[in-house]
Amino acid sequence: MWIKTKLFLAIAVMTLVCVFTGCSSKPQGGNAKTVRNIVTSDTILSGMILSLLPQNRYSVEAILPPGQCPGHYDVKLSDIEKMKKADLNVSFKGMSFLNKASPEGGAQLLVDAGGRNWMAPDSYIDGLGILADGLSKRFPEDRDEIMNRKENTIHAVKTESNSLIEKIKRAGIFGKPIIASSMQKDPLEWMGFRVLGITADRRRCLQGRLSDFRKLGGIKRQSWL
């Protein structure tokens, strides 16, 4: 049962990633000379921006690879070059690794996540609004299309999110206790799971802490994610 639970959780998280991070950053059917290049700090932002901008006029690329911890990323010379050449650099506030790479005087959009994980649908939708407003100010000629795409994306996110919740309930794991990484806490709580404990690295969670979590939750087994 717990193997199935862990497998389902992995699939559920991957579903959120696919829905919320977009599929392609390559411009489609546009003149390369007129395509604006946007560089983001991570794939969450790149996926959100891809959903908001017409891809025949914009190219979006992320610095951090999927799943990469910002605190353990070494900025490359190629990253600095990308940011220097970009028409706009977009990043979350507080990402220290970008302070060294961000070009002085370059066009930059800093986003405040408000202490929330934007992979959780409600926060993701709020984030779309923040990005749509910021991009509309930078590219006023595309404001109407940006706002229209925002509404379409919100509808798609709500539809997929409701479908995912129903699948979790049918699987019989809604409300199950789990132990997850700090980055996964918000999305998993939104899915209806009971997060007993969080850790930056699950391998560092000692057996003694596991016993404490079990006593706290009044259960004998939890699922790791």
Is the domain 14-164 a CATH 3.40.50.1980 member?
yes
**Amino acid in position 44:** I
Q: Helix count (H) and strand count (E) of the chain?
A: 8, 7
Chain segment 117-173, per-residue pLDDT in tens: 888 888 899 999 999 999 999 999 999 999 999 999 999 999 988 888 888 888 787
Q: Would you state the structure tokens that stand for residue 103, as one six-digit string?
A: 């070009």
Q: What is the DSSP letter of 111?
A: E
Q: Please choose, from the candidates 124, 174, 171, the residue with its C-alpha nearest in 3D space to the C-alpha of residue 21.
A: 124
CB 73 within 8 A of CB 54: no
Band of the pLDDT at 204, cuts 50, 70, 90?
very low
What does the pLDDT read at residue 53?
96
Burial tier of 87 (Cβ tally within 10 Å: 0-12, 13-18, 19+): middle
Please indicate, yes or no, whether the overall pTM of this predicted structure exceeds 0.75: no
Chain segment 85-101, per-residue pLDDT in tens: 999 999 988 776 666 56
Band of the pLDDT at 209, cuts 50, 70, 90?
very low
CB 196 within 8 A of CB 217: yes
Bigger pLDDT: 202 vs 74:
74
* Maximum separation of any 2 CA atoms in the chain, in Å: 62
- Among 11-20, 70-79, 93-102, 187-196, name the one with the lowest average pLDDT: 11-20
- Model confidence at 7: pLDDT above 60: no
Residue 203 forms beta bridges with which residues? none
What does the pLDDT read at residue 97?
63
What does the pLDDT read at residue 133?
96
What does the pLDDT read at residue 184?
75
Mean pLDDT of the chain: 75
Domain chopping of the chain, boundaries: 14-164, 175-224
Percent of all residues in the chain with a pLDDT value above 70, rounded to a whole number: 66
